[in-house]
Structure 1
Amino acid sequence: MTTSSPQTPGDAPGPHSGPGGPGPGGMPYYQPTQDQYGRSTRGAPPPQHARLLKLTLASAGFYLLNLVVSLIVTSTVDLTGVYENLGFTPEQAQMAASQASGSMLGTSITAVIALGLYALIYTGLKKGRNWARILGIIFAIVSIIGSLFGIAGSLIFGGWAVVLIALTVAVLIVDILWLITAFKAPVRAWFTHRP
C-alpha cells in the first residue's frame, strides 16, 4: 500500500489557482492589474507616461518662449520695410505693419487659451484620461503643420530668422516626439484600458 505525502494548500495547482484563486498558504492571489475582488484594473502607468508628461511641459514651454520672442521681433523689426521687401506698395506695407502691431491683444488672448489647453491636457494625461491623449494628438498635429509654415514665415525677419527658425524646429521636434510617445503600444493600451 502506498501512501501519498500530505500537501499543503498551494503546493499543487488546483482548479482555482492563479488569478483570483488561492495562492500559497490559501491566501488569494491577485494579478497587479486586478483589485481585491478580482476585477480588472488599469495598473501602474508605463514608463512612457512620465515621458509624455515631460514632453507636454516642454511643448508648453517652447510655445511660450516662441510667443515671447515673436512679440519681441514684431515690436523691434521695421515691419513696414519687411512688407515692402515682399513687394507690397508703401501704403499696403504701412497698413499691414499697423495691423500686425495691433494684433497684440489677439495674440495675448490666443496665448491664454493655448496655455489653458496645455494645462487641461496635462491634467487629463496625469489622471490617465484618454480624451486628453486624443486632444493632445490633435493639437500636436496642428502644431506640426503650423511649425512648417512658421519656418517659411520666419525667413522674412532677417537676423531674427535664425532664432525664430531654431525655436520652431525645437517645437517641431518636441511635438513629433510627443506623437511617437502617445502612439506607443504601452501608452495607448494604458490610456484605452477599460476596467
Structure 2
Amino acid sequence: MSNPYPQQPDGSRGGPPQYQASGDQYGAGQHGAGRPGTAPPEVKRLLTLTLVSAAVYLLNGLVELIGSATVDMTESYREMGLSADQIAVAEQSGGFATVTGIVVLAVALGLYALVYVFLKKGKNWARVLGIVLSVLSIVGTLIGLLGVMAYGGLGIVLLVLGLLLVVVNVLWLVTAFKAPVKHWFAPPRMA
C-alpha cells in the first residue's frame, strides 16, 4: 500500500495539514496576544487609561448620586421656572432617578470591565467598543455639565470630575487611534 502523503522535497514525510493549537480553526493566531514579541507601550497605556476612566466615572457617578439624594432641588426647580405641580412631579420622580442612576452606573462599569478584559486579550472588537463608548461618554458628559450647578457646592466637584472624565476619554481615543495600537489590534490579513 502506498503512502497517500508522498515525501516532500526537503526529505520530510508529508501528512495532513498541521495547525497550531493556540490558533483558531484555520490555524491563525489570536490578534495581539498571538503575535511574537511584546505589545507596544501604547497598549499598556490604553489599558491604564481604561482603568482611570472607569475610576473617574465611578467617582463622578457616586458624587452625583449623593448630590441628588442630599441637595434640595426645590429652589433650583423654582429658578428654572417650573410650576408647583411640575416641582411636585419632579420631586416624586427623585427616587426613581436614584435607582436608575445606580443601574446605569453598574452597567457602565460592567462595560468598562468587558472592554478592559478583552483589550488585554488583544481583541480588536474591544478597542472598537471602547472607541464608541468613549465618544458617547464625552458627548453625554459635556451635555451633563450643563446642569451640574443645580447641585450647589457639589456642582463644582461634578464639574471638575466631568472635565477630567472628558480629558481622560480624549486621551483614550488618541491612544486607541495611534498607529502602533491600531496595528497591534488589527486582524491579520490573509495573503
User: What is the Cα deviation at residue 78 of structure 1?
Assistant: 0.6
2:81 is equivalent to residue 83 of structure 1: no
Letter in structure 2 aligned against 1:176: V
Distance in 1 (alpha carbons) for counterparts of 2:118 and 2:151: 38
Among candidates 38, 48, 53, match of residue 47 of structure 2:
53
Among candidates 88, 91, 98, match of residue 97 of structure 1:
91
Letter in structure 2 aligned against 1:42: R
Secondary structure of the residue aligned to 2:133 is helix
Q: Which digits, 9 at most, give the CA deviation of each residue in 1:96-146, with x for residues without a partner?
A: 122133322222221221111111100010001000000000000000001
Long gaps (5+) in structure 2? 1-27
Among candidates 64, 69, 76, match of residue 63 of structure 2:
69
Show the counterpart of 2:139: 145
- The within-5 A match list for 1:1-195 is 42-43=35-36, 44-194=38-188
Q: Answer 1 or 2: higher relative contact order, Cα 8 Å, separation at least 6.
A: 2
- Aligned pair count reads 157
Distance in 2 (alpha carbons) for counterparts of 1:193 and 1:119: 22
Distance in 1 (alpha carbons) for counterparts of 2:170 and 2:47: 14
Aligned residues of 1:74 and 1:101 also touching (Cα < 8 A) = no
Letter in structure 2 aligned against 1:58: V
Secondary structure of the residue aligned to 1:175 is helix
Greater mean deviation of Cα atoms: 121-130 or 77-86: 77-86
| 4+ aligned runs moved over 4 Å, structure 1 | none
Aligned residues of 2:115 and 2:130 also touching (Cα < 8 A) = yes
* Higher-Rg member (1/2): 1
Q: Which digits, 9 at most, give the CA deviation of each residue in 1:48-86, with x for residues without a partner?
A: 001000000001101110111001101111112211111
Q: Which digits, 9 at most, give the CA deviation of each residue in 1:141-167, with x for residues without a partner?
A: 000001111211112222222111000
TM-score by length of 2: 0.78
Distance in 1 (alpha carbons) for counterparts of 2:176 and 2:66: 33
Letter in structure 1 aligned against 2:108: A
Long gaps (5+) in structure 1? 1-38
